[in-house]
Amino acid sequence: MNSSLDLLHLAAAAAEQAGTYIRSESRQVGRSEGPAEWISKGHHDWATKVDQNAERLIGGMLMAGAPGSRVIGEEASPELVKSGLVWIVDPLDGTTNFLHGYPQYAVSIAAAVDGVLEAAVIHDVTRECLYGAVRGKGAWLGDTRLAVSEIHEPARALLGTGYPFKQLEELERYLAQFRRILPATSGVRRAGSAALDLADVAAGRLDGFWELMLAPWDMSAGVLLIREAGGVVTDLDGRDVGVEHSAVVAGNREIHRWLLEMLGPNA
């Protein structure tokens, strides 16, 4: 049985190798692979051969390093499984950003054992930095231990968010939430990579975050990072989230509590 630290090191090696590959391909986007080559997965949702190749690279390394484990991810194996050692992989979180040369995209890998998140990494591809967390042992950016923000006043808080760009039927509900939250805070940002948004919460750059629906490969690594950095991550009802499709509300304890109040049905 691999230890949690073993899982972390294996995930880190796979994420950094994928990051190197993605950076090499980023110079070709817009030339050899123009918009006609983009793969539509749905409304406003794109993939490329880079996503697919990165996922194959990651999966090969993880399976070789932990034989008998399984990989689930957005591109190849989206069916959820929870028994045994499962890797939850987003090979390129922020594909639209990548396609447009907007430098906000990441590789996200989490390891869960029987549905419990044990280790996670998020590799910020363009900045070439690696976030990591192990259950019960903390979260780190390189050699720096992460801690969530100590800003507790909503009026001073900077929040991250994600629009319901795939579920447009949720747009009016989201806009009602946005109208309540924006005037009460210092600002709201939407950069287009949930993995990096959650890493920013863990690092204390963002004081909170919410999105109406994320897939497990979008959020699993970030969930563990935030919890190990002292923060809270739940759904809109305050229930802890795990390896699942779910709404996400995250932040330090005070901002998280306030967000739940502002986002609730009675707000």
8 Å CB contact between 217 and 117: no
Residue-wise pLDDT for 99-128, tens only, equals 889 999 999 999 999 999 999 999 999 999
Q: Which of 145, 179, 197 is the last residue of a domain?
A: 145
Q: Which of 110, 125, 145 is the last residue of a domain?
A: 145
Report the chain's terminal Cα–Cα distance, integer Å. Answer: 47
CA distance 193 to 12: 19
Residue 137 and residue 241 in one domain? no
Residue 13 and residue 113 in one domain? yes
**Which two tokens mark 37?**
């080559």
Residue 207 and residue 121 in one domain? no
| CATH code of residue 247 | 3.40.190.80
8 Å CB contact between 71 and 10: no
CA distance 173 to 169: 8
Residue-wise pLDDT for 132-185, tens only, equals 999 999 999 999 999 999 999 999 999 999 998 777 788 999 999 999 999 999
CA distance 249 to 262: 11
Residue 128 and residue 58 in one domain? yes
Place of tokens 């817009």: 30
Share of the chain above pLDDT 70, in %: 89
Q: Which of 124, 145, 166 is the last residue of a domain?
A: 145
Residue 84 and residue 159 in one domain? no
Count of CA atoms in the C-beta half-sphere (13 A) of 148: 30
CA distance 55 to 107: 9
CA distance 88 to 227: 17
8 Å CB contact between 246 and 218: no
Query: Which positions ≥6 away from 238 have C-beta within 8 Å?
Result: 260
SS3 assignment, position 198: helix
Res 159: pLDDT: 98
| CATH code of residue 13 | 3.30.540.10
Residue 16 and residue 141 in one domain? yes
Residue 126 and residue 17 in one domain? yes
Greater pLDDT, 26 or 262 = 262
pLDDT higher than 50, residue 254: yes
Write down the pTM of the prediction.
Answer: 0.92
Place of tokens 């090499």: 24
How many of the other CB atoms lie within 10 Å of CB of 180? 13
Q: Give the closest residue to 219 by CA, choosing from 71, 120, 118, 115.
A: 120
Residue 134 and residue 249 in one domain? no
Residue 234 and residue 258 in one domain? yes
CA distance 42 to 45: 5
Which range marks the domain in which residue 12 is found?
A: 4-145
8 Å CB contact between 265 and 173: no
Res 30: pLDDT: 45
Residue 178 and residue 228 in one domain? yes
Residue 9 and residue 137 in one domain? yes
pLDDT higher than 70, residue 76: no
Total structural domains within the chain: 2
Residue 172 and residue 65 in one domain? no
